[in-house]
Amino acid sequence: MATQPKIGLFVTALLEDDYNKTGHMRPKMSEATDRIAKILAPYGEIINPGFVEYEPDADKATQAFNAAPVDLVVAIELAYQKGIIPMRTLLRVNAPILVWNTQQIRRFPEDADFDVIMENSGMAGLPELTSALLRSGRSFELLTSHVNDPAGLAQIGEYAAAAGAIRRLEKMRIGIIGHPFEGMTDLMVDYLSFRDMIGPVCWPLEPEKVAIAAEKMDAGRVRKFMQAQAEKYDASAMPDDLFERSARLALALEDVALEYKFDGLAVFDQIWLTDPRVGVIPSYGTGYLCAQHIPVATEADVTTLSAMMILQELAGEATFLENYVIDFDEDAIILSHDGHGNPAMAADAKGVRIKPSIYYEGVNGRGAGLEFAYAPGDVTILSLIPLGDGDWRLIVGEGESLPITPRPVAAPQMLFRYKNGSITEFCDRWLLAGSPHHMALAYGHLAEQVEKLGRLLGIEVVYV
């Protein structure tokens, strides 16, 4: 699930040197620093090393930020500061940087004294700082707003959430079970480039480990799990023996993911169809894991899995889909996948049906899949593609999930309407952006956050 990002607060100004004599302002500067920390507190855990005036203060801030470690550094000048002071931190801190050009007053009052200028003239020194960052090749983001401006604060919240997602991506482990579906060109990925540019480690795991876990699963645990799932969802169409095999496989997948500390799984679903210890498709189990916040992509699709991980970090829930059928009359398109999806995003839990798969039959029969309608509401779709030579692209679009009566096709279904034009325009734009045939989806309009994440990550973002 989405977790709180850590924000490093770097507030600085020049008060005392051989020529400037405004040391009496230190208490006010410290108060202002703490006040800004409280303003930013709703957007993350604030690491506040205190007001930074001299190089030792900057060293202290650097150590605090890297030790936390923070996900984002927000750098503020309350008044002019010699560029070398903030650069002492900003060249050595590991996190992305947001330079916030802000002040505490909205206008320059007629009775203003020099103290007012000292607390509200950060624009005097910021050109020196941003110039130094550019000359040093240190990337940064920039925001100008009043300290209490809601729109500006929302932007900071989006930067913090994006930076936090990147930090967590760097720590994530993807378990690859089986192999990418043969012949699918959009699944042909350089895992080392993926690790370098996107973050997660890809770790192959033998399907045998899941099969053994399923075979040895305690029967009492399986029955208890089946009962709980049947109370939550509608399993009336599921033959008991096939439901038992599917539940056993779902728990085995969960156990293996937890044992190997995988944050997500890229699974070639068909890998166990001929194995008599399993012999069914795992669509129900992979959907169950998505609802447990262990996202799963079918066909061993690592890139769409990473898009799911990003959206899950930003929105809390994510699912896996592909384009199905254009509905020209509704100016929309059906998004779905063959029995796999996140039931936590369904319009109604009791409307989630656990049914035999109509897509794949194994040596032990047709295992369980999911059939439901996704909840209506604003949505964001996201895909990730490699471009070659180590370059990557995020492709993001926004729209609306419309109410829909699920068709009897043993699959989760959404009727998606494009935000920025007709469905024909969406199809053309989505195809021309280079999108793969799978996509991740989450609720909410998140394109601006995705664009910030892409900039902080250093990869291209295409908004369709």
Q: What is the pLDDT of residues 367-418, one digit of tens each?
A: 999 999 999 999 999 999 999 888 999 999 999 999 999 999 999 999 999 9
Cβ count near 239 (within 10 Å)? 13
CATH number given to 173-463: 3.20.14
Residues 65-113 have pLDDT tens digits of 999 999 999 999 999 999 999 999 999 999 999 999 999 999 998 888 8
Helix, strand and coil percent figures for the chain, each rounded to 5: 40, 25, 35
Cα separation, 213 vs 362, in Å, equals 18
Look up the pTM and report it.
0.93
CA distances from 91 to 6, 62, 140, 452 (A): 19, 9, 11, 21
Q: What is the DSSP letter of 148?
A: T
Residues 10-58 have pLDDT tens digits of 999 999 888 888 889 999 999 999 999 999 999 999 999 999 999 999 9
Residues 240-297 have pLDDT tens digits of 999 999 999 999 999 999 999 999 999 999 999 999 999 999 999 999 999 999 999 9
Token pair recorded at residue 232: 């939550």
Q: Where are the domains of the chain?
A: 6-169, 173-463
Beta strands 391-402 and 460-463 are parallel
CATH topology for 6-169? Rossmann fold (3.40.50)
CA distances from 326 to 15, 249, 333 (A): 64, 34, 4
pLDDT at 2 over 70: no
The one-letter code for the residue type at 219 is A
Check: CB of residue 95 under 8 Å from CB of residue 73.
yes
Tokens 């779905």 label which residue?
336
pLDDT at residue 135, as a whole number? 97
